Structure 1
Amino acid sequence: MKRLLCAIFLSLMAAIGFAQDKVKVVYHVNTGVETAAAILNNITNELNASPTDKIVVVTHGPGIDFLLSDAKDSKGREFSGQVSALSAKGVEFRVCNNTLQTRKIDASKLLMEAQMVPSGVAEVARLQAKEGFVYLKP
């Protein structure tokens, strides 16, 4: 019995240690499509180096533009494929509803991987303060 309890304790300690090693990152994006390709490449590079990182991309203002249907980079390539590939790896994309309302953009224009949040700025703050995310502003 003592051995079993010791094994359970060690397993729990290892699990807690593993959970603490997981890095959580929020990418704050409020610039337009001209920088989105570089940001998506940064995220891809991060996941290649640290595949277990938890990444959330929070967008507002012109930063939402790459998450709109048919959005293209300066070379005419759509962002949807790269967003979909990153989403399949667990990256979450969040879009500010305040921006959608201010710019009169219907939510149906968003890529299916995008999730609306009430406020992009408030979401960034919440992730940092309440969930321990590291802040990156590419």
Structure 2
Amino acid sequence: MNYDIVFHVDLNDEAVLNIAISNIANYFTAIGGQKAEVVMLVNGPAVNLFKKETALPALKDLQGKGLQIRVCQNAMNKFSLPKETLMDGVQVVPAGIVELARLQNERYTYIKP
């Protein structure tokens, strides 16, 4: 079975982000160490939730378990966020929507909390 999954976060809403964090933590527990790529794709106003000074500590914990956080460069440009202002360990992708399409073509399961 393929356990690769992408969680899509696009709202500047900490409650939505907390749902995604909870879903991801539960996912890691449920698959019990089985091989999986787990990605959080961030675009739109949600990029504002990933600034170094305000990012939730739970995100760093999940990165330690294997979560990949990918942030949209287009959204960063729109909200005037240079890469240096983002939390450590995030990957910047040119266009979040294109990355979502690519991952879905690679058979990642799409989750929108």
TM-score by length of 1: 0.74
SS at match of 2:110: strand
CA contact (8 A) 2:10 2:45 kept: yes
- Aligned partner of 2:11 in structure 1 is 31
- Aligned partner of 1:101 in structure 2 is 77
Higher relative contact order (CA 8 A, sep 6+): 2
- Given the alignment of the two structures, is residue 133 of structure 1 paired with residue 108 of structure 2, yes or no? yes
Query: What is the aligned-residue RMSD (CA, Å)?
Result: 1.3
**Which string of whole-angstrom CA distances, capped at 9 and with x for unpartnered residues, describes residues 79-117 of structure 1?**
0x2111111111100000001111111110111121100
- The number of residue pairs the alignment matches comes to 110
Q: Distance in 1 between matches of 2:64 and 2:15?
A: 24
CA contact (8 A) 2:45 2:79 kept: no
Alignment of 1:1-138 (within 5 A): 21-32=1-12, 33-51=14-32, 52=34, 53-71=36-54, 78-79=55-56, 81-129=57-105, 131-138=106-113
Q: Distance in 2 between matches of 1:86 and 1:65?
A: 19
Query: Which has the larger share of helix?
Result: 1
Q: CA deviation at 1:137?
A: 0.7
TM-score by length of 2: 0.90
Q: CA deviation at 1:24?
A: 0.5
2:45 is matched by which residue type in structure 1? P
Q: Which has the larger radius of gyration?
A: 1
Unaligned runs of 5+ in 2: none
Show structure 1 runs of 4+ deviating over 4 A: none
**Which string of whole-angstrom CA distances, capped at 9 and with x for unpartnered residues, describes residues 19-70 of structure 1?**
xx24100111101123111210111011111133321010101222221112
SS at match of 2:49: helix
Q: Distance in 2 between matches of 1:43 and 1:62?
A: 20
